[in-house]
Amino acid sequence: MLSLLLLLIPLVFSIVIWFTKGITSRAAALVGTLVQLVFTGYAYNVFLAEGSKPFEYLYQMAIKPNLVFHFSMDGISMLMVLLTNLLLPLIVLAGFNRFTERANVFYSLMLLMQMALIGVFISFDAFGYYIFWELALIPIYFIAFNWGGQDRAAVTLKFFIYTLAGSLLMLFGFIYLYTYSPQNSLDWAVLKANPICSCEQGWIFWMLFAAFAIKIPIVPFHTWQPDTYKTAPTQGTMLLSGIMLKMGTYSLIRWLLPIVPDGFKEWQSVAITLSVVGIVYASVIAIMQRDLKKLLAYSSIAHVGLISAGVFTMSRVGLQGSLTQMFAHGINVVGLFFCADIIMNRTGSNQVEGIGGIRKVAPRFAGWFMVIVLGSVALPLTNGFVGEFMLLFSVYSYNTWLSVFAGLTIILGAVYMLRMYQKVVLGDAIIENMQFEDLKWNEQLVLGIIGVLIFALGIYPEPIFELIEPVLKTLTP
């Protein structure tokens, strides 16, 4: 039942916010996300105390065809729900000193998005999962379309069609699975317990993988991403990169690995190679990016490339590392985009070159930005390192040479991140009479929380491990 409440709270607030106006809207959104966060905290405690039982909820929508909404929770879902509900208040708070046109619609969509994301993470039946997967696309489409920047019509259309095409293939895959599952069921446990003939798993794998690879995105399915990240309003970008992207990697672990294990094994090498190529490829592109948000977008591709490579090693360490890194990356990337947003907002420029000198006028901002950059380049004792270490080790265990290439990320990551930081924050101001206020209270709060999380999880990642380890035991040999 708790799972249903987790879905309903954002939905109710989403509806309520629709009827508010202006400043009230964002205050209501903050209240809503905070209520949800508190409730998630409660749910987390219950989860630790009683396991997944209180979360079971089944709603049979139709008997023939056998369509079920099955909500439940295991450690992985809990982790992702925590991430979602932790980031949402931060994302809302990040926009607190901005004027947003039609704020009620904006925040309403955002809360709707939250509900859809949680739905994806707690659905244990492919039917409900698919519905929420698609539902998550709708609010973000409108957010990017209505509040986006230049070329938004073309860019959002590309994004929408791209992801929709992927989902369609996934739908085919699921329908096929449905037809051939023994009780005509799409329940996760049933699908997992009755894998279809390994001769057919290969193409089922590709059906599902296409959807996930586009969402993640894995090179070469990534071309929608940099433009979309650039065009979407920053709060939308935070949602996209911080949480929505995790839908893909989460689904790799939840839906792809247990359901088509043989197909997974069959295409493992291809997928890992793609991921690793993606890491190097995106990192190299990021080096010379001139647009701030696009640079971060490519860096994000590089990071998630490593995450998916870890998943595809099918090893315990790889999965654990990827989940840890998913959580860490969610936090870091939101922080990075927030910093980019602050810079773009105050200077009016979205270029890497031609700003400079921010540190002199806004030392606090520069300091927090540095912390987040460090988390992003995976310095030990930051959250990025724990995941990256485990991921690289998993890739190493799979193939030594691949790990050398994947390991280039720690060099190239430092190259592009520090280059960006130097050009933007350090040096002398290039813009004359630059007015750059230091952090406002809400920005200070958001960056402070992110900074503390970066170190806390870097030094003591045990809470994450504690959640996911029992689940991973059942997923890997």
Q: What is the DSSP letter of 54?
A: G
Question: Does position 376 bind another protein by CB under 8 A?
Answer: no
Question: Residue 20 has which token pair?
Answer: 């508010």
Question: Does position 317 bind another protein by CB under 8 A?
Answer: yes
Report the C-alpha gap between 103 and 470 in whole angstroms. Answer: 42
Q: Which is nearer to another protein, 91 or 253 (CB)?
A: 253
Question: Residue 269 has which token pair?
Answer: 């090498």
Q: Which is nearer to another protein, 114 or 324 (CB)?
A: 324
Q: Which residues contact 230 (CB under 8 A, 6 or more apart)?
A: 149, 155, 291, 293, 294, 297, 350
Question: Does position 18 bind another protein by CB under 8 A?
Answer: no
Q: Which of 19, 380, 437, 452 binds another protein (CB under 8 A)?
A: 380
Q: Which of 84, 104, 201, 403 binds another protein (CB under 8 A)?
A: 403
- Nearest-5° Cα angle at 203, 202 to 209: 95
Amino acid at 274: L
Question: Does position 302 bind another protein by CB under 8 A?
Answer: no
Q: Which is nearer to another protein, 50 or 462 (CB)?
A: 462
Q: Which is nearer to another protein, 101 or 428 (CB)?
A: 428
- The terminus-to-terminus CA distance of the chain in angstroms comes to 32
Contact yes or no for 150/31 (Cβ under 8 A): no
Question: Residue 144 has which token pair?
Answer: 């990017």
Question: Does position 427 bind another protein by CB under 8 A?
Answer: yes
For residue 67, the SS3 value is strand
Closest distance between another protein and the C-beta of residue 2, in Å?
Answer: 29
Question: Does position 390 bind another protein by CB under 8 A?
Answer: yes
Question: Does position 150 bind another protein by CB under 8 A?
Answer: no
Question: Does position 153 bind another protein by CB under 8 A?
Answer: no
For residue 59, the SS3 value is strand
Q: How many residues bind another protein (CB under 8 A)?
A: 53
Report the C-alpha gap between 212 and 392 in whole angstroms. Answer: 21
Question: Does position 460 bind another protein by CB under 8 A?
Answer: yes
Question: Does position 462 bind another protein by CB under 8 A?
Answer: yes
Contact yes or no for 449/90 (Cβ under 8 A): yes
Question: Does position 452 bind another protein by CB under 8 A?
Answer: no
Closest distance between another protein and the C-beta of residue 227, in Å?
Answer: 10
- Bridge partners of 293, per DSSP, are none
Question: Does position 281 bind another protein by CB under 8 A?
Answer: yes
Question: Does position 163 bind another protein by CB under 8 A?
Answer: no
How far is CA 377 from each of CA 52, 319, 352, rounded to the nearest angstrom?
Answer: 35, 20, 18
Q: Which residues contact 369 (CB under 8 A, 6 or more apart)?
A: 339, 421, 425, 447
Q: Which is nearer to another protein, 70 or 293 (CB)?
A: 293
Q: Which is nearer to another protein, 138 or 287 (CB)?
A: 287
Report the C-alpha gap between 437 and 365 in whole angstroms. Answer: 9
Question: Does position 405 bind another protein by CB under 8 A?
Answer: no
For residue 173, the SS3 value is helix
Binding segment for another protein (CB under 8 A), chosen from 25-33, 87-95, 168-176, 461-469, is 461-469
- Within 326-365, strands assigned E span none
Question: Does position 360 bind another protein by CB under 8 A?
Answer: yes
Question: Does position 278 bind another protein by CB under 8 A?
Answer: no
Question: Does position 158 bind another protein by CB under 8 A?
Answer: yes
Q: Which of 146, 396, 399, 463 binds another protein (CB under 8 A)?
A: 396
Q: Which is nearer to another protein, 258 or 407 (CB)?
A: 407
Question: Does position 431 bind another protein by CB under 8 A?
Answer: no
**Whole-number CA gyration radius for the chain:** 21
User: CB neighbours (10 Å) of residue 262?
Assistant: 17
Report the C-alpha gap between 334 and 407 in whole angstroms. Answer: 24
Instruction: Point out which residues bind another protein (CB under 8 A).
Output: 158, 161-162, 220, 222-223, 281, 284-289, 316-317, 320-321, 357, 359-360, 367, 374, 379-381, 386, 389-390, 392-393, 396-397, 403-404, 407-408, 410-411, 414-415, 418-419, 422, 426-428, 459-462, 465, 469, 472
